[in-house]
Structure 1
Amino acid sequence: MEAESSSAQSGTQTETTTDTGGGLNVAWYETGDWLDYSVNVATAGSYTVGFRVSSAYGGATLQLRNSAGTVLGSVNVGNTGGWQNWQTINATVTLPAGRQTLRLFASASTGCNVNWLSFASTTPPPTSSTTIQAEAFTSMQGVQTETTTDTGGGQNVGFIDATDWMAYANINFPTSGTYTIEYRVASPSGSTLSSDLNAGSIQLGNVTIPATGGWQNWTTVRQTVNVNAGTYSFGVYAQAGGWNFNWLRITKGTAARPAETTLATADAGSLGRSLEVYPNPAAHVLHLRAETSLAGSRYQIIDATGRTVLSGQLQATDLDVSALKAGVYTLRLTAEDQASVVRRFIKAQ
């Protein structure tokens, strides 16, 4: 959360910052001053809160409080060596799930600057698994169903040709993090499938289907992906034909990623491994950082309905998102000679 994006405040002012990423910081933060933030916590649990602070004097104590005034956690800010010499100080807090107001309160301060706050879950989510029958698609192109001899009986999807697809609506990923996706498949000579979310706006990558020796000789193949918490349309796409499909199973990993870190497409090279977007949520400017140069990369920003709302070619490592409405967006970035990389971010009010 950018410090200056508060929903209400008392006693503070803003100024231009020289901290990484630029923009504004909150300044003249003295005893009794406060900043309120409206946040939506996806999962109840323990969180590490990072406070990005600076002070030429020291002696400040900042508290994070809930709407009832209960102190959830606090940090002491020492002399960092100057008003623009920044440090990140961490505290651990416990938050309930849901929409709530958090207050950053200066219980003591002779002068302190704040640039942003970050939140990362420290509570491993429970392992959970969801199995979806292949024939339970909500929409499809080109496929048919048939009786299967696989364990459990019933039907499988068959007659799959290249570019055929199946989509499954309202698939919930309860928390952000790592998921294993398994596909129960059969193929006489082998093939390739891919998966995606929300009609291809988020690509999860390809999976190789081995030759199983027959249309009803079944095996299970899998991939590991990182997905932000949410409810999606899950798509399975035939990169090549010649395979049958009985079911897919989605299993939550045992360790969550911070919600601001989202998935990258498979085979996206160093860009896919290193691209960061911040702050998240973003109020005015979305900053991009990667190991490789981003100059000249093509970008698209896609809203929750799948509509492209911004696009163009990067001239710098930041994007002006101030004109966007509040909500969740997908950034698709394509660098030369690399696959597209996808990141999700929240546009704040």
Structure 2
Amino acid sequence: MVLKKYILSVLIYLLGTTTLSAGTYPIWGRLANPGFENQPMKNAFFFCGSSRDGVQYYEHCPTPNIELYTIHPSDARHLEWSEDAANREFAIDTMTQAGINVVNMSYWGPRGTDNWTWWAPMQTSTYSHDELFETTLNKDILIVPYIESAAATPGSPGFSFMDCFPGDPDNPAPEFIMILKDLIQRYLLSPQNERWPTKWARAYDRSGYERYVISIIHAASNQDGVTDQIFADGFDHIANKIFNETGVLVGFTLDALPPDTYASGRFKPSPTTTGPWLAQQESILAIQCFIPEISLGVTDEDYLVEWKHTFSSMWIHTGIPFIQDISPGYDAHIVFPGPVIYGNNESWRNALGQIILKLKSQGMTFSAWNGYTEGYAGVPTVEYENDVYEWAGDLFKNFETESLHPIPGKIQAEDFVQMAGIQTQTTDDDRGGLNVGWTDIGDWMDYKVDVCDAGTYYVDLRVAKTNDGSEGKGQIYKGNQVLATFSIPGTGGWQSWKTIQTTVNLETGEQTLRLLVTTGGWNINWMKFKPDPVEKYHELPGRIEAEHYADMFGIKTEKSMDDTGTGLNVGWFDAGDWLQYDIDVKEDGDYELSLRVALDNAMPEGQGALLLDDTTLCSFDVPVTGGWQSWKTISKQVYLRAGQQKLKLLVTKSPWNLNWMEFAKTSNIQ
């Protein structure tokens, strides 16, 4: 099997080359189409349109469908889009203006004859898909067909998948493959318009090859005797069979839903049991949650943020690219919402933005289906509101804000902007958190840094490795230039940590550094960049820029719009995060402490504390200031003793941003 996969990989390589420019690396799970290279997927799920013949919805709502939207997606007899070309144009323009670069197209095929037998008969007309491909031809947006595997199983009572996933390795998923080949024939091999194939989204797999993307929702991994390994292996079996029969290389984004949420969740793949097997499949492009926010009616925002963070983290730790769901809230994706709709508000949007940036999600998706006319309609028309796209657009802008790591400074290994091949895990090292592991030759992590001053920097790397007689090896790159090469000795175990050191020469300014694994089998927790072996102390009285910390836990940096600082601020705080500074107080006395802070009006007030050598110096409240880049200075009175000390800023209630701290002498000791 390994040899077969190797031969297939060689064929794929010979069949085509990447469109990336020299010195640029393909990123697993990112788009590969010309003009979209390495862009994260920013998706909108939607059904292609409305029933034009006024059929009844279904037995629970016998009202004719006379609007432009499909009133209930499970009952559309003819899922055809609006007959008005202006409406179709408006829909796609609205999406692209919001920043959406992928629209997920429902496909139940083949040729519109499949159905959900436990609901009303459903037929999907390929005519609506033709319209979608045609409408996007001159737009900066791509199409990903999505297939609900339950609907791809003839006679299914809902969640029986043996005919669909994965089936016999020699004859995998025959019903699913029939549907997929129908799609490939219509839109890639024999399209009515020769430009249609350019609109089908392609993405890079874990080896850097381009694959046509198929989104799969509602696929079960533990039904009818299907084990996690058999389920995962099925995807490569399907992709290989499709390639052998059509010459088209496909890959999959896979829906995942926790077992405590939706009725079908108990059948879904698990990050702990299925995830490790899925991570080994060449055809798995990303985990893309369809509706993970459905939590049986729970609308407590704090609870849901924590729940969403935990669930997303578990999948991200598998190393598979994770596309974060950003739906406005509970039931916001369906046409008949529950009694309480939450989420279309500033605080929920900001909370989701924090999760996306904190976890380094590889993309975003929202599942606002068409039909809900209070602003969530997945296919907007001129006559209806399109609030959901404006809302999503704000989150997309958040997603594009990259965290900059200041140098000198410390970078947690898991705080990469891009990576290939690695996974993260909980670390036993001091101060906890995560470390990067499961390193193999060729794996890498990219870090966006801002170097304060050009020169030589000492780099401490916190590493761990078993005592197996071999050495791990790695390099630090900038572009195509090797800045440093280092070796990792055995340290006594995967969680037995040791600090090694190398040096790099860096130019000033923003740049991307790559940590490349040249010999695998080692873990890394963090890197610390220092201008020389001697600790630098901040002299007080004076100002300390927030990003000039000696150590930290949990925070990230960003470009600041405050005109009183040096260009960066710190933020994305969670309770328990901290920053540590080495200070040198010139004389004992009372000092006025000024903190430059920002907090969005939609959030409750934040709180923090300053500790001097682990003794509380003061506590403070952070008021709302009008926005994350609307700055205000707050003040406290503190007493400092002379000498070199460690000052820690502790976040006790989040979130809020910090630009700088300043200590001004107010009196002398008598």
Which category describes the TM-score, using the shorter chain as reference length? 0.3 to 0.5
TM-score (norm 1): 0.44
TM-score (norm 2): 0.24
Higher helix share: 2
Higher strand share: 1
Larger RCO: 1 or 2 (CA < 8 Å, sep 6+): 1
